[in-house]
Amino acid sequence: MKKAFVVLLVASLAGCATNKAVLPSLEGKPRVKINAAAPVVAPAAPVAATPAAGTFDFSFSGDILDALKAVKAVQPQINLLPPLGKPSPLKVTVNLRGATLDDVLREIGEQGGDAVDVVLNKSKHQGGNQVLVRFNNPKE
């Protein structure tokens, strides 16, 4: 069995060694230069960052109710509703660049912690964007 395998292996290798391979014709086909230098592409000029629509810069430090009045001055389309609960002084500091109204109100609400909830109502049928502040005072 081993002898038959060796004979077939030698015969197939001998056949491959004596066969002249047929190369495909390269006529009419484009040739690619392998070592050619790549074309030089000029670097693009940097594009100045333009603020996206609906974004603004907002910086404020003071009481939370005054912060919402400052947001109203920058974004006059919002409606500030009277605060719910007993208002208590709470200092917030916000400094955001290229922020949306949602980002600014979220930052103010996060600084309020558990003492204050800042709610943005975006329903169209109630007059657009309404901002409500709810003071979570402990029961007295």
Question: How do residues 76-112 score in pLDDT, each as one tens digit?
Answer: 888 898 998 888 888 999 998 988 888 999 999 898 8
- Whether 41 is covered by a domain: the verdict is no
CA atoms of 98 and 7, how far apart (whole Å): 80
The C-alpha R_g of the chain, in whole angstroms, comes to: 37
Question: How do residues 110-128 score in pLDDT, each as one tens digit?
Answer: 988 888 998 888 877 666 7
At 86, which CATH number? 3.55.50.60
**CA dihedral (50, 110, 68, 84) positive or negative:** positive
- Whether 49 is covered by a domain: the verdict is no
- Whether 96 is covered by a domain: the verdict is yes
Q: What's the predicted TM-score (pTM) here?
A: 0.58
Total structural domains within the chain: 1
CA atoms of 98 and 85, how far apart (whole Å): 32
Task: Tell me which DSSP letter residue 114 carries.
Answer: T
Question: How do residues 21-48 score in pLDDT, each as one tens digit?
Answer: 666 666 666 665 655 565 666 665 555 4
Give the domain extent around 113.
56-135
Give the per-residue pLDDT at 23. Answer: 61
Task: Tell me which DSSP letter residue 39 carries.
Answer: P
